[in-house]
Chains A and B, each alone.
Chain A
Amino acid sequence: MEYDPKDTEVIHLLRKLKDSNGAYPPEMLALRRQGYLKQVAEVSAGAGLAVAVRNIAKGGKGAAGASSIAGTVVEALLVVAIIAEAGAVTYIYRDKVTEYFRSITRSPEVEEVASSPVISSPLAEMQITPTPVFTFTATVTVTGTETPTPATPSGTPSMALVAGTAPPDGDTGVDVQSSASTSIPGSTGSNTGGSSVSTSDPKGNNGNHYGQTPKPERTKNPGNNSSSTQVSSTKNKKKP
């Protein structure tokens, strides 16, 4: 490469600078070389190990062929030792092992209680209270002139539980009556009249009706004129 004549002097100086000493100090170089050789030995050993592993993986023989027999023997010995050790451990902890297998095979002691299925119903919120309701069925008798506008029946059929006294003919006493009430326009809803169903005739049997309890008969001795009530009453009498 041709250089500019003006640069020749600079290049000449640079060439001289090249020959200048900048040598590696011998002690420093020796230490560095020692460290490097150590690294080389490590890398070579690692590479040798890798090559040996590769040969074993390939199933190669040769130098490793002789050691393969010894390796097989050692392997067999190791297997025997492992089996013997496992047997000893099993014998020592046989109770725990037995308990463990029992716990595995045994059915669980706690029974699971499944909750009863809840049937959802659209009428779930509707609750029937068995409160006896006394209803009076009223028979409305309309008398008077005819009106041109007939009453429009309105209302809904209702179910009512009627609890009454049991009729003597063996009835249960609870009747379910279905009645359709018709409201009259203008009426306040009060009964204007009607007949009520009265209790059937007991036919001489008073039963335990209130106010109809038979009075016990008085038994009075002929000679006994004093009574406890009379004594107490005399005691409480105020003196005038």
Chain B
Amino acid sequence: MTDGIALLKAAQKLDEEALTAIFDQYAPAIYKYTLRLCHDPIVADNIVGDVFAQLLEQFAGGKGPRTNLRSYLYQTAYHLVVDRSRDNQHNAPLEVAVGTYEKGRFTPTQTQIEERVMMEALITAMNTELTDDQRHVIILRFLEDFSLKETAEIIGKEVNNIKVIQNRGIAKLRKALGLQLEESW
């Protein structure tokens, strides 16, 4: 934590090493988060570039985050994704989001096949059943490991509101997974 604060203070003074360290530390995570939201690697890459360009502008203007740099970067990425999704409704194929399950590498076991089916059903449900807020909260809470407070800061809502959104999102996913699994079996 103290390292994070020291890094942030050095970055505010436009120290090149500190700024480079921040990029190396957070760029892959921001890319992953953005890719989960927009499902397009090129868009995700562009958003990463915009996030760090905005961070530089803020530091050069004597502004920017004072305490929680990680939340600030995710918040910027979230707003950029929302802005882009308003301009262009675009969904990439599911394989991009799933990512891990590369085909043809090895022969999957029965358990792995079941797990893969479950994961695809989950991703489909996340993309089709959830609202934008519910999807963002679920991703931030369970895929990016943000606390309720941090998630509330990033989304710009109250903590209690985030709790409600999260519970409703999980309930929708459970229902969708149950239906999909019933259909598939």
Tally inter-chain residue pairs, CB-CB below 8 A.
98
Could you give, for residues 27-64 of chain A, a 1 whenever the CB lies within 8 Å of some chain B CB and a 0 otherwise? 01100110111011101101100000000000000000
Let me know if A237 is at the binding interface, CB within 8 A: no
**Are the C-beta atoms of A43 and B100 separated by less than 8 Å?**
no
Q: Which residues of A contact B19 (CB under 8 A)?
A: 40
Q: How far is the CB of B23 from chain A (nearest CB, A)?
A: 5
Within 8 A of A (CB), among B66-125: 97-100, 115, 118-119, 122-123
Q: Which residues of A contact B174 (CB under 8 A)?
A: 6-7, 9-10
Could you give, for residues 142-162 of chain B, a 1 whenever the CB lies within 8 Å of some chain A CB and a 0 otherwise? 111100100000000000000
Let me know if A13 is at the binding interface, CB within 8 A: yes
**Are the C-beta atoms of A43 and B14 separated by less than 8 Å?**
yes
Could you give, for residues 1-43 of chain B, a 1 whenever the CB lies within 8 Å of some chain A CB and a 0 otherwise? 0000000000000101001100110011001100110000100
Q: Which residues of B contact A15 (CB under 8 A)?
A: 142
Q: Is the interface of A mostly helix, strand, loop or mixed?
A: helix
Could you give, for residues 38-76 of chain B, a 1 whenever the CB lies within 8 Å of some chain A CB and a 0 otherwise? 000100010011001100100110000000000000000
Q: Give A55 to B181 CA distance when docked, in angstroms.
A: 70
**Are the C-beta atoms of B177 and A10 separated by less than 8 Å?**
yes
Let me know if B171 is at the binding interface, CB within 8 A: yes
Bin the interface of chain A by size. Answer: 35 or more
**If A15-B142, A20-B98 touch, does A28 touch B20 (CB 8 Å cutoff)?**
no
Q: Give A43 to B28 CA distance when docked, in angstroms.
A: 23
**Are the C-beta atoms of B99 and A32 separated by less than 8 Å?**
no
Q: Give A33 to B45 CA distance when docked, in angstroms.
A: 11
**If A6-B174, A35-B49 touch, does A29 touch B14 (CB 8 Å cutoff)?**
no
**Are the C-beta atoms of A36 and B41 separated by less than 8 Å?**
no
**Are the C-beta atoms of B45 and A32 separated by less than 8 Å?**
yes
Let me know if A212 is at the binding interface, CB within 8 A: no
Q: Give A32 to B170 CA distance when docked, in angstroms.
A: 35
**If A7-B170, A7-B174, A13-B118 touch, does A22 touch B60 (CB 8 Å cutoff)?**
no
Q: Which residues of A contact B97 (CB under 8 A)?
A: 22
Q: How far is the CB of B24 from chain A (nearest CB, A)?
A: 8
Q: Give A7 to B27 CA distance when docked, in angstroms.
A: 31
**Are the C-beta atoms of A44 and B49 separated by less than 8 Å?**
no
Q: Give A16 to B123 CA distance when docked, in angstroms.
A: 12
**If A35-B49, A41-B16 touch, does A18 touch B23 (CB 8 Å cutoff)?**
no
- Cβ-closest chain B residue relative to A18: B143
- Cβ-closest chain B residue relative to A11: B142
Q: Give A22 to B92 CA distance when docked, in angstroms.
A: 14
- Name the one of B28, B52, B99, B142 contacting A14, with C-beta atoms under 8 angstroms: B142
Extra pairs beyond A21-B100, A29-B27, A32-B45 (6, CB < 8 Å): A10-B173, A18-B144, A23-B32, A33-B24, A44-B16, A47-B14
Closest 6 CB pairs of A and B: A14-B142, A20-B100, A21-B100, A22-B32, A21-B99, A24-B31
